[in-house]
Chains A and B, each alone.
Chain A
């Protein structure tokens, strides 16, 4: 197996996630796209760890998974609060601070 196989797969996932963050309206769907980006990073970490015969890549992948869990928890709480206050979770409507 080539290292590049995994790196390119991660690049595709990352760019799909970037498109999702930019183009989605629904707050929950934006969070899903962020998960795609985080998973792309994790594939890179584990692939480089395996390439260098080092467990550090896996350790950092585990850290990223923990951070992702925290991020989703807080993110969904924010989306829920947004829904309670405005009856909509359309991220394009949140423009109170737009000049």
Chain B
């Protein structure tokens, strides 16, 4: 139990620092690379929560595909790869105060609502169990997600092609 807690806090510290760097760094390529750190941290937290299939999917889809897509987007829009002077707008202070107030409210509510809630005998939920659930109880949402992905694919091609 102690080892899990140490691992959690180490990874969480890295994730929080990297997340703050994602939204504050002036260099857009650095932001994408810090995003990789956050996403890898999230995958590690899934492992701590014994959700192995979601962790693997996180690495494959997020780090493997979405970050690459972001880097393509950065290159195609020819954003300056060096530091930018105007990466933030003038709402920075309002945005920061909204984020801090929201965080305070959420932490207070969560802390009160789930005080002392512990994970008892955390078991690995195998891929087979996840698959059983997807293909029995949630088969209709799964099919709808497939259609949504297809629609998004066609939509992205239509939007991005040159004509």
Contacts and interface: CB of A to CB of B under 8 A. Distances in A.
Given A1-B118, A5-B8, A70-B152, A55 B31 contact: no
B42 A23 contact: no
A1 B119 contact: yes
B133 A56 contact: yes
B148 interface: yes
Given A15-B106, A23-B92, A70-B149, A55 B125 contact: yes
Interface of A: 1-9, 11-20, 22-29, 31-33, 35-36, 39, 42-43, 46-47, 49-51, 53, 55-59, 61-63, 65-74, 76-81, 83, 89-90, 92
Interface of B: 1, 4-5, 8, 12, 15-16, 19-20, 22-23, 28, 31-32, 35, 38-39, 42, 45-46, 48-51, 53-54, 57-58, 61-62, 65-66, 69-70, 72-74, 76-79, 84, 86-89, 91-92, 94-96, 98-100, 102-103, 106-107, 110-111, 114-119, 122-123, 125, 129-130, 132-134, 137-138, 141-142, 145, 148-149, 151-153, 155-157, 159-160
